[in-house]
Amino acid sequence: MSIDPRTMSQIIQVQIRPSLDPQSAGNSLNAKDESGAPSLFETVLSQYQSSSIDPELASELAANPLALLAGLPPVLRSASAEPASGTGQYEGLIAAAAAKYGVDPALIRGVIRTESGFKADAVSSAGAKGLMQLMDATARSLGVTDSLDPGQNIEGGTKYLSYLLRKYNGNEQVALAAYNAGPGRVDRLGISTDAELAANLYKLPEETQRYVTKVQQATY
């Protein structure tokens, strides 16, 4: 999909990180203000429709607001979705862990975006800590002594993700489900391939069902 450079600056200002669901009420792509004024997405789409855009593309954009980002160069797409203090300061740690454990750095970033939003001091209500949200017992088993240390946490989380990818023979969606729900829960359902996960996804917690999709959407 090709996007007119004249409208790129408007698109880049759209903040989609509050929710990966384009229909969410809090998503600024679709949100109207209290006066009922059109959202930014509606304004940009209107400009597209009034130009020479392909009708099929206009329909696609109307149905899928996230498609707007697909036409942006990677650097602009990343800038539109990350806070100023986002990935940059952790890129070295991500690259090192990716190389050490053979995991795609984009997948590591996707897990971090979904788990902690690149907040090194994030602590969940369940007690998961740091960028990839390690539980204390899991962290200890991975050799992590301080889960709030970004270097230790990213290495430990990547080591665990690498283990899950090997365990499930590279079936990425199964590995992600196990990262969220635990491998024991996945194994009890007899799930070992992405096809088996798709057939049995409804048996897993709703959080896990959403998690797999969110991470894959956040992987870039």
The model's pLDDT over 110-123, given as tens digits with 9 standing for 90+, comes to 999 999 999 999 99
> Where is pLDDT greater, at 202 or 44?
202
Q: What is the radius of gyration, based on Cα positions, of the chain?
A: 19
The answer to whether 129 touches 147, Cβ cutoff 8 Å, is yes
CATH 1.10.530.10 residue ranges in the chain? Answer: 88-217
Alpha-helical runs (H) found in 102-169: 105-115, 136-141, 150-167
Q: Name the CATH architecture for the domain at 88-217.
A: Orthogonal Bundle (1.10)
Average pLDDT, the chain: 78
Task: Check 56, 60, 82, 115 and give the catalytic one.
Answer: 115
Q: Is the pLDDT of residue 22 over 60?
A: no
Instruction: Fill in the amino acid letter for 135.
Output: M
Q: Is the pLDDT of residue 34 over 80?
A: no
CB neighbours (10 Å) of residue 131? 29
Reported as a pLDDT band with limits 50, 70 and 90, residue 69 is: very low
| Tokens representing residue 55 in the block | 């009708």
Q: Residues 75-101: what's their mean pLDDT?
A: 72
| Active-site residue flag, 115 | yes
In the DSSP assignment, the letter for residue 123 is B
Question: Cα(215)–Cα(157) distance, rounded to whole angstroms?
Answer: 14
pTM above the 0.75 mark? no
Question: Cα(115)–Cα(124) distance, rounded to whole angstroms?
Answer: 9
| Tokens representing residue 36 in the block | 């009922």
Residue in the block written with tokens 């430990």 = 156
pLDDT on residue 86: 60
Instruction: Fill in the amino acid letter for 58.
Output: A
Nearest to 212 by CA among 198, 98, 124: 198
Per-residue pLDDT of 127-148, as tens digits, reads 999 999 999 999 999 999 999 9
Alpha-helical runs (H) found in the chain: 5-12, 40-49, 55-63, 67-70, 74-81, 91-101, 105-115, 136-141, 150-167, 172-181, 183-188, 194-200, 206-217
Torsion sign over Cα 185, 190, 192, 195: negative
